[in-house]
Structure formats: C-alpha cells, structure tokens
C-alpha cells in the first residue's frame, strides 16, 4: 500500500521576460512548454497522478498546470487557481496544503520560487537544500496523516527531479 498523502511542488516552466512590468502575464517559452511536458510524462511514468492541481493565477503557472492536467488525463474540475500562491513564501504555500480536502490523496501545487524551493528544502527525515529550476519538482509522501496534521519534516521521503537541459548556447536564454 502506498503513502496516505503525497504533495508535489512544481515550479512553472521557463517563461518570457516581463514586458512593462507585467510579471503575471509572462507566458511560457517553447522551452518552458517542453520542460513541463517532460515533467508531466515523468509524473505519469511514476504513477504520481495528482487528484488536484492548485496553481498561481500567473499565466506561466496556469499554463504549466494545464499541461500537467492534460497529460495526466485530469478534467477541468481538478484545476484550481489560488491567488495566495502568487509570490507566496513557504508558510503561505503550506497553509494552502493544510486546507486541502481530506478526500484528496495527491495534491500538486504549481507556483513560483523562492517559496517552492524554500518549502521543498524542509521535506523529509533529512531536510536538505532543494533549488527547483524551471519545471523542477519535489514530491514528498507521508504515512498515516491528514493534510491538517502534516509537518514538512515528517515526510517519509522526498524525491526531486528536473527536466533535461539544453546544451549551453543551444538557444538564446530568456530571463526567468
């Protein structure tokens, strides 16, 4: 029998630079789309299909969440926007996790750094620094726990993964 709860943190894919300070409107680059598609496939391969994806309302995070949902065969009801995730720190992200419905066994949060990396760095019996690159993920599992009772450090285990990177100089870099 698998773990009772799984939380996967997914950073959005690589995005275009902000124009006129419109950070929320930044869209995924072609590289960003490829990154998220690759990570969605890895979720499927590991059979880590989330039951619910909660995403920041920023264009790049919502697009990333939609790619994962489509690849995992999830319907539109399995996607939710959370304004609180835009610019959220680890504590704000954790409060969203703690409020998750009990029926959900696997929650995926799609958001931004530095909050996601800060939270991922707290997971597991031996927490360690985890810096999630674009489309990077950290997935932690807990046994015998409800969302409200979870503590990040009590995760039975945590795995991190990131998409393959293009060779240096293969494409012009955009800022993220």
Mean per-residue pLDDT, 135-142 = 97
Q: Let me know if residue 175 belongs to a domain.
A: no
* Per-residue pLDDT at 144: 76
Print the domain residue range for 97.
Answer: 5-13+27-161
Cα(27)–Cα(14) distance, rounded to whole angstroms? 9
pTM exceeds 0.75:
yes
| Residue (of 172, 122, 117, 170) closest to 142 by Cα position | 122
Task: Kindly state the average pLDDT of the residues 75-82.
Answer: 94
- pLDDT score, position 2: 58
pLDDT tens across 9-63, in order? 999 999 999 878 799 999 999 999 999 999 999 999 999 999 999 999 999 999 9
pLDDT digits (tens, 9 = 90+) for 106-128: 999 999 999 999 999 999 888 89
Is 21 a domain residue?
A: no
Concatenated DSSP letters of 118-137? HHHTT-SSS-------TT-E
What total number of domains does the chain contain?
A: 1
The CATH number covering residue 43 comes to 3.40.50.1240
């Amino acid at each position: 029998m698998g773990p009772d709860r799984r939380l996967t943190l997914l950073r959005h894919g690589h995005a275009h630079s902000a124009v006129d300070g419109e950070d929320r409107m930044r869209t995924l680059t072609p590289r960003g789309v490829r990154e998220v598609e690759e990570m969605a496939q890895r979720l499927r391969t590991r059979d880590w299909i989330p039951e619910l994806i909660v995403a920041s309302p920023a264009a790049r995070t919502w697009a990333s969440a939609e790619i994962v949902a489509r690849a995992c065969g999830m319907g539109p009801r399995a996607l939710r926007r959370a304004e609180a995730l835009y610019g959220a720190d680890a504590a704000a992200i954790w409060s969203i996790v703690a409020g998750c419905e009990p029926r959900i066994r696997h929650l995926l949060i799609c958001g931004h750094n530095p909050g996601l990396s800060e939270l991922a760095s707290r997971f597991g019996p031996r927490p360690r620094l985890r810096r999630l690159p674009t489309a990077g993920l950290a997935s932690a599992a807990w046994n015998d726990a409800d969302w409200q009772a979870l503590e990040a450090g009590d995760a039975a285990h945590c795995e991190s993964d990131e998409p393959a990177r293009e060779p240096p100089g293969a494409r012009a870099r955009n800022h993220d």
